[in-house]
Structure formats: C-alpha cells, structure tokens
Structure 1
C-alpha cells in the first residue's frame, strides 16, 4: 500500500464524484424509526429506507464514544483507545481508556482528505477527553485535529438543546438567541457548508458527518412537536411495545419465530400504575416522539438541500443510532439531567412539578425505563449492556446507483466497524500504510458491499463486546454474555448463552444445558480481547468521572483564572468533587452598589455560584432537589478586598462552606450533600452566570455580571484552614 498523498489527486469529473454523509442519532432504539416498526412519524428516514436498504442485524458497542470511534476509523474501539466514553481518561496505565483515538487509527476524514475530499463534522463529537474541551485546547483530538476541515457542534456527551456549549471550528461560541435549537442549527450549518462547497468547487467530493444530540437526554423540543402526539401514549408501554413487535414482523424487520419477551426487571405493568403516573409517563413519551419527528424533519431539510443543489444523486447516505435506548431515567423518569448522571432517582412528586415544562428549556428529561424497553423492541435491556437492547440498532444505507432492490431488507450480522471499510470499497479507496507519518493499524471491519446486491451474502462471523467489565461474544450464530458483578473478580462473573440465530430476543439461556458451547465461546472472547486491546478491564462505571489522570491539565491543584476567560465546560473545570478547596477572588468595588456574580459553574438544575447582592457575599450550592445557601453576616466593604469561599470536606460528598472577607470569617453553613460524579452539564464563568443561572435569586437579571472589578479567581484544591 502506498503512503498517503496529502495533496489533491487531480480534479474530479462531476459524473465520477461520490459524496458520503453519515447521520448518527444518539440513544435511539432499534424500533424507534417508523421504518423499523414505530408509530412515530419519521417520513424522511422512511424515504431513505424505501430508496435504500435496511440492515436489521447491525450492532455497535453499547455507548456513544466507542461506537463513534469505531464508525470513523473502521476498527474496534478498544484498539483505538476508546474502551469507554470520552468523559473518562484513566491515565497511562489504561491505554485503551484515554478518551481519544490513537494516531495509528486514522479517521475516514483523514483518509479521504488524502483522496481529494473536503470533510465536515457537525453536532456531537464526544471523541476527545472532557478535560481537553477548553477554549485553549489542546486541539489534537478535536475534529479539526482528526481530518475535518470544518466543525460546528459540541464536544462532550450532551448539551442543552436551547442554550448549548457550541464550538465553531476550534472556537467556543454563544448560540443563545431566541428560538435556537441544536438539531436545527447543525443542519442549517451543514447546508451552508454544502452550499459553499458546491458553489466554489463543485467537482470535489465531500464527506459530512451529522451527529444529532437527539435522542439523548436532555430530551427537548418545541411544544408543537410534542402536541403532535397528545394522547397517543395513553394506552401505555405494554400496548405500544406489542404493537411495534407485530409491526416489525409485518415489515420483515424481525423473523417470524421471534418471541415476545417479558417486561425487563423493574418495569411495572402499565395497568398497575396510578392514573397520575400514567398521565406523567405518557407525557415523557410524547416529548420523546416529538423530538424524533423534529429530528427527522431536520434530516429532510438536509436531503431537500442536497436535491436543490443537484448533489443527492451523487451522495451515499448512512444512518445509524449509536446504541440502544437508555434506562438512565430509571423507574419514574428524570427531569434533571445532572441528578440522573449522579445516580439520584427523582421521586414522583418532584417529577410531577415539571409536567407542564417537559420538553422546554426549564426541564431536562429522560423517559422511564418502561419506554426505553419499547424503544429497544423486541430486545432485552438497554444502552450500556451487552444484551441486544444495548447493541442492536437501526442501519439504513442509501446509494444513488448501487442499490437495485430499493426498500430491501438485509439480515447479515454486521458491526459498526464494517461501515467505513464498505465506504472505502465503494469509493475504491485504499487504506494507506501511513497517515501523518504514523504507521497505521489494519482495518478490523470488513466490507459488506456484496450484501447490496445479494441478500444471502455472508455477514460477520465473530464479534466481541466489553463495556465496564460486562462482556459478550458473537460467534457463528451463538452469543455468550458475561454478567458483571462489580467489585468481584472477573473470573467469578456468571455467563449466559443464547442461540442467537434462532433466538434473537435472547429469551432462552442455554448456559446450563450446553456448557461445552459456552466454554468454547468464552475462550474465543479471551482470544479476541487479547487481539484488540481489551485488557486491562475496569468496571469503574460513573466513578470514571472522578479519575483525573496525572498527566492532564485538570490534575492541577492550583488554578488562576482571569476575567474575560471564555466559558469553560464543566469537564475541564477545576476538579472539586469530594475535596476541600478554596475559591479566592481579589476584587475592587468603588461603591456599595456594585454587585454581581464572581464565579459560577452550572445552571438551574445544579451547580454553585459565588456572588455579591444587596451588599452581601453569598455562596449557593444547587444540587437540584436542594439549594444550600450561605450569606455573609456583614456588608462587603468598598475598595480593594479579597473575598473567599472555603469548603471543608467533613465526609463523603458533604462539608461546611465558610465565607471570608480579607481572611475574616463572615459566614458559614453546612452543605449536607454534594454531587458524587458530575456537578453540572453547564460550565464555568468568571464575572457572570451565562445560559441558565444557578441561583433563583438573580434568575430574572440576565447573566448578573459583576459591576465592580475582578482581578482574578484562584482555586486552591488542597487548601487547609
């Protein structure tokens, strides 16, 4: 193979040009698209399916970053350094868990760049460590560092749809105008990129990846889309799941012998719920369905634009979801993004208060796990598991000329790592031996181009899985699953065995009756795990949020932040969880009327803020269900002074907050509970509180910018008083 040519390989004739578009939805289950059995209106996804192919035995890792890394590289995710989500960086001792794609695994954008393509990325990235999502980089693992020419989107796992933390190329931007929505904004920007591209250089092909925040929490969409489904889900999740199951059989999405399985553990029968619970839980689903219809509408805008500029008939379109639907909403659902990430269930009365606000900027929702099972129909369990509910997702491929059987269905076992090698095959692109001077690892995926023409073409015979210690292996129609028992030796984990070829819903565990086959598959898993860098394993789960690698900028214990600093995402902010720390702020006030926020991290659903109002120094810690407040006993003096918040940890996730003015204590109060994993999904501001304010006290005062002078903000994480 030749060394990659970083220059354009001549000009393209228009008739030879073939663009590629990847469309990635987030946490959308196997059955959510209309063309995969849903009652949700998705006419544009349906059009792609009717004019392309649906692949019904397609699999991916069970969480976001691993799937995305595998999609863009054509390799297994452990081997490229993305064993788990990019929020976590476990340090050098875990080279497979550093939250970034290794240089030895070039992305499709890097490869296509050497073949004359322009490359555009929009929406969710989630392929660089959270601690690198700063206004000052490092940028190596951002989209422009991985082969893309333009980027407009968000770097971490999720963001508010109305007031997001967005990046344009390598610059954080504010996008808080009235009527803003991430899904609409990224498609508008995608259409702008395409317009510019075909207007200026129409003979050059492009690769574009469009990555929606939908259907990941927070589930937020305009009321008119929610109202489309008013009353639709009053019949409940048991009825809807059965209807989808029957529709899937009618469409040929699942085999005739597929068995309808019982409710997952923890999911109540709909008829056992109170009328008030049914009302609220149905509303969750109305919002989710409206969100998906709105997303589909944006996909339609992209397709219409490609038609308008005469590019749709020169464009391959690939549509996937990155994993199954999430059960993070637990039994009652969630209306607070941060509480659910911190494993704090929300009681029904707390959720009921948000009923009228669901879908709006005032609520950050995730549906109850009863609806998550519906999304994953006909399969068991959810995202983040290695059962089919976590791994098996919809795949649609549209090709303007290569698909003769439009609307066809294919049942080959496929993996996300197979998609990009198939695209290379379609484009006649060879994987180079080197990219940017780095020798490349082989592609792990295999092209399934033959399946475009031949419904009986062979699929993948073997694929391993591992997520937070939960394991699985598929081999020639059989599947074994290792059930993780956290804290126990991995060798003590029990395993289940399914004949996947005849039991697609994993309804009959054969581990006891076919031990020989189970042992065979366990040995195969070990071989594959060694081959693809699965070891060392870890079952840290959300504890990964608290693992701060020593070789990162966030590992510092002392930070000096200056006024005018750009908004800093929470995952890169000074790490104060379960630690003692101080925040010192030298300020100057010429009068007692000068007030405002000195430093704030987070928003209305969680976070902390230090501010001056009515001439008093105030600290608030908002956990979501409780707002702790400490106020100075005396006025803040004029002139040059230093104010300080000192938090003394007194136990796990609790402490005492003390306020000081020029080293004199002026206030104190107990903070009985702080968040254990993630403080907020909004970042840190100096001298203001942007987006959603932490404190209800200044909620109607905009950003409540400080009107005096802030000289700097000093975080000392190991401070002792």
Structure 2
C-alpha cells in the first residue's frame, strides 16, 4: 500500500500541475506504516535477519547513546527505567527471545520500506520541478504501540478473539512473520526501545506516548546554512496548520458560506525555522487521551496516567521539570506541591477552553458501532448495499463477527455466472460468499481454518435470493447455513465463531484484498447481475462490543 500511495500521489500532483501550473497543491499522505500488522517485502526482511538478537536492553542502551552523540537529546538526559512488565532480555526463554527478535525484524523492515517510499516521493517531486518550493512535513502520529503485550502477537485478530498464543506455540510459525500470512505486533520491550529514552507507550500521555520526531523540508524557505539543523522548541501537531498559513500569508476566515468557523488552534513556529535561538511560540499545551491527562507549560510538565473506570481522585499526578528531565525520571510532585497545583489548574483551564470536558474514559461506547440515524449504522441494524461500490472500512460497515447475521444477495442468475457476492477480511481471516461452478459457496476462514459450504444442487436460471445465516452458538462455537430462495442448501457447525474477523472491511461484488478463500484469485468479480446485498444483524453480545472497541482503538 505504501508504494501505491506514493504512485497515486505523484500522479495526482503531475496531473494537477500539468493542467494548472499556476496553482499550489496540498497533499496529505497517511501511511499505514508502521502500524500493525508489520509486513514487508522479503528482501527487506532478509536485510534485518539477526540484527536484533542482542536483545532490547543492549539495543536500547546503544540507541540512547547515539541520541546523545547526535544531539537529539541533551547530554544530561537519563535513560528511563524499564516499564512495568518488560523483562530483562537475558531472563527470557530461548523461544521468547527468538520470537521477539523476529517480530522486531518485521517492524524494522516495514519502517525501512516506508522510508524508501518517502524517498521516492521526494525524488518524484524533484523530477516534477516541485521539490524546492514544496513545504514537506514528515512526522509520526504517536509513540510506539503497547498492543503487542509482553511477548508480541502473531495475529492481532486472534488476540481480540481471546485466542492467546504462547511464544512456545507461536514459534512454529516464526518464518511467516512479516509476510502476507502474518498480522503481527511486537512486544513491550521493543516498543520501549522505539520510545527511547522515554517512559510508557502510545495511548499514554507520558513522553513515550506523545513525543515523536518531525522533519520539515523547504529549500526555498529555509536558509542553506540552516538545512539539516535541529530545533528543540516545543511544537504540537496543531501548530503545523497555523505555521503553513503564516508562511503562505493566509488568514483563516471567521465566517465561510455564512457559517461561523471554529478558530484555528495552535501557534505558528515560522519564527524559528531560520533562527534556532528564537523562543518557542507554543508555551502551554494540554493533552488528553483515553482519560490520561498532561499539560506542558514552559519548562514544566504535569501528567496523570489514568486507568479506565477509576476515580480521578484516587489517581496521582506527576510533576517533571522537562527542561532538565526530558525522560520524566524525577517526579517533583511531593517536593513542589505548589507548582503541581499551578500546572493542574492550567490543565483544567485549557480543557475548558478547548472543549475537552467532561472527561470521558469510555471505550466500548466511544469506539464501538453506534446505531442511530444519519450514520453508517442504521437503528434497525439492516444494511443495504447496491453495486458498484468501493471497498468499505470495517468501522463504517455492517459487522459479521460475534452476532447472528443474515447476508442476503438478490441476483438475476444465468448459467455460468460466477464470482464473489460479498466478502470481508483477508487471506488471514474473513468470510466470503460467492458463486462458482453454478453453485452457491460460503467460505468461513477462521485464521486459516476454512469451513466451506457448497450448495448441494446447481442454481437454476432466473431471479433468486441467496442467503447466508451466521449464528453464534454456545461458548466459541457457531453454525453456518446457506439458503437459495428460502430452502436450505447446506450447513456446517464451526468450533470457532469469530468475534472480531479482520481489520480489513468488506466489498460488494468482488474481494478487494488478498483472497479470503483459496478457491479463487482476488478480486474474482461477480459476472452476473447482482442487485443488492442486505445485512440483517442482531445486537452484539458484550464481549463482541468490547473486542470491537479494543480493535478500533488499536487502529488509531
């Protein structure tokens, strides 16, 4: 996908500048990398084979020393201690070390491949004659992920289905890591390495969750002697837009098309692009994520790591003088309670100004599907899709996991028609409903275990209603059935009825990703006349709603 994003971006820019060379362009390229799953071409995987066998303790120390040597962090920065749950590398078993090292290799290969794609974008802009006058900003969205747990995961969707593989079990499939049949995420130990020298991870408001690198490239606007230099002033993501406006001389309108506009937040940092000694322009910044809180004001930071459902009154704010303690290792809350009170007051003030209140640490209710009017999820849980349609995101479409669902295809059929009617997921896990050899087929792919139903009789010519009935049973089991015009054409019981199926959403009339079923090559577009697909869904049970919310949070 990273390669295709760059290909399409360069094509769009070339088209636009070819037709209107007098107009500027704006491009936004949100790479999926390096979000899980960590996958990379085989040559990139091979490049990193064995590179992390020394383990996360040795690598973290090396990276920390390099950060100091290259001026990324001040020389007096302390390396924060291990996060809770991160074991010393030499205390892991052999299988735990082998699995963890390979998972980190996949992450590194993925990152390297992405870096090459950014290089392709830069070279493409150069060839188009647009590089020198383009403001190019590259940054990460958050700190390294903690969703891989203490040992890492081979397939995140298995995790959300409460299927937990131990390293001794997962090691049998170690050679699939990084390839198309893997859906991996690395363990806490490597995530903490990625956040060196900071504490905690993505989702937290400590530096390990919110402090990320940013690179800005603009040859026509940044003086030659300043290119390649570093800046240490505080910058928040909301400062990028006002900086670009400042550079371009744009004043955002207060009213547009008769509608009052919300003010643009953030502060331009144009002043220190060519003056490293210029003061920071953003001197107070709040953070809130999943109920965890933080405030940076000048040289100080206060932070609270929240546990969902716990009263804030029972949780402890920490106080750090980050101008001297970049890695948040010396909590001054007890030594300077007056400063802490001042910082906490700043947080509440900023939260009020920016609409953060009331605090809300819910998960299922916020990130799960909400059935209501004027949304992708209708109140009656009846979804109607008519082709042709583009592939849909899983969070904006009807779910098949963990609940009772009917998938109904209305078609006009003639002998020889074939192809996918409805498919969701990928070759790793998914559900595909298709016609092949004049028979109706369902392939229920539960992490490589394919339960297949093929109609016992051929489909006659004419108008038909094809139906898949997915029914959740006791425990982890379920029952699958296909019908043609209300008559059962086959059924099967499955030992694993998936609660969460895939991070890849559905497509109507074809299979847009890697093929869910081994019985065809994607996209295997339906050749007949497919009128519509209808999904009729029951309410999800609490464990499904919780799994969906966790998976959705993990996509952020």
Counterpart of 2:316 in structure 1 is: 494
What is the 5 A alignment of 1:692-711? Answer: 692-696=514-518, 698=519, 700-703=520-523, 710=530
Q: 1:715 aligns with which of 515, 527, 535?
A: 535
Query: In structure 2, how many angstroms separate the alpha carbons of the residues matched to 1:386 and 1:453?
Result: 30
Query: In structure 2, how many angstroms separate the alpha carbons of the residues matched to 1:524 and 1:512?
Result: 18
Counterpart of 1:458 in structure 2 is: 279
How far did 1:388 drift? Answer: 0.5
Query: In structure 2, how many angstroms separate the alpha carbons of the residues matched to 1:658 and 1:510?
Result: 63
Counterpart of 1:311 in structure 2 is: 130
Query: In structure 2, how many angstroms separate the alpha carbons of the residues matched to 1:495 and 1:670?
Result: 52
Counterpart of 2:385 in structure 1 is: 561
Counterpart of 1:384 in structure 2 is: 203
How far did 1:245 drift? Answer: 0.3
Counterpart of 1:548 in structure 2 is: 370
Query: In structure 2, how many angstroms separate the alpha carbons of the residues matched to 1:306 and 1:712?
Result: 43
How far did 1:431 drift? Answer: 2.3
How far did 1:672 drift? Answer: 5.6
Counterpart of 2:549 in structure 1 is: none
Give yes or no for the alignment of 1:298 onto 2:154.
Answer: no
Change (3 A) 1:544 1:606: farther
How far did 1:289 drift? Answer: 2.1
Q: 2:232 aligns with which of 411, 433, 456?
A: 411
Give yes or no for the alignment of 1:441 onto 2:286.
Answer: no
TM-score scaled by length of structure 2: 0.85
Counterpart of 2:142 in structure 1 is: 323
How far did 1:575 drift? Answer: 3.7
How far did 1:597 drift? Answer: 4.3
Give yes or no for the alignment of 1:397 onto 2:223.
Answer: no
> Helix, strand or coil for the counterpart of 1:235?
coil
Counterpart of 1:266 in structure 2 is: 85
Counterpart of 2:63 in structure 1 is: 244
Query: In structure 1, how many angstroms separate the alpha carbons of the residues matched to 2:177 and 2:229?
Result: 38
> Helix, strand or coil for the counterpart of 1:714?
strand
Give yes or no for the alignment of 1:605 onto 2:424.
Answer: no
Answer yes or no: is the 8 Å Cα contact 1:630–1:667 preserved in 2: no
Counterpart of 2:349 in structure 1 is: 527
Query: In structure 1, how many angstroms separate the alpha carbons of the residues matched to 2:107 and 2:427?
Result: 22
**Cα deviation digits, residues 693-716 of structure 1 (max 9, x gap):** 3234x2x55555667765543322
How far did 1:468 drift? Answer: 1.4
> Helix, strand or coil for the counterpart of 1:496?
strand
Q: 1:580 aligns with which of 404, 411, 415?
A: 404
Answer yes or no: is the 8 Å Cα contact 1:337–1:605 preserved in 2: no
Give yes or no for the alignment of 1:431 onto 2:255.
Answer: no
Change (3 A) 1:385 1:653: farther
> Helix, strand or coil for the counterpart of 1:480?
strand
**Cα deviation digits, residues 659-716 of structure 1 (max 9, x gap):** 445445565555565554x5322232344434223234x2x55555667765543322
How far did 1:421 drift? Answer: 1.5
Q: Which moved more, 1:293-302 or 1:374-383?
A: 293-302
Change (3 A) 1:433 1:642: closer
Query: In structure 1, how many angstroms separate the alpha carbons of the residues matched to 2:60 and 2:216?
Result: 26
TM-score scaled by length of structure 1: 0.67
Query: In structure 1, how many angstroms separate the alpha carbons of the residues matched to 2:501 and 2:441?
Result: 19
Answer yes or no: is the 8 Å Cα contact 1:585–1:712 preserved in 2: yes
Counterpart of 1:514 in structure 2 is: 336
Q: Which moved more, 1:514-523 or 1:464-473?
A: 514-523
Query: In structure 1, how many angstroms separate the alpha carbons of the residues matched to 2:97 and 2:136?
Result: 39
Change (3 A) 1:198 1:578: closer
Change (3 A) 1:524 1:673: farther
Counterpart of 2:177 in structure 1 is: 358
How far did 1:595 drift? Answer: 6.4
Counterpart of 2:546 in structure 1 is: none
Change (3 A) 1:207 1:686: closer
How far did 1:475 drift? Answer: 2.0
Answer yes or no: is the 8 Å Cα contact 1:643–1:660 preserved in 2: yes
What is the 5 A alignment of 1:328-343? Answer: 328-339=147-158
Change (3 A) 1:662 1:394: same
Query: In structure 2, how many angstroms separate the alpha carbons of the residues matched to 1:222 and 1:576?
Result: 31
Root mean square deviation of aligned Cα: 3.2
Change (3 A) 1:363 1:635: same
- Greater RCO, CA 8 A, separation 6+: 1
Counterpart of 1:170 in structure 2 is: none
How far did 1:455 drift? Answer: 3.1
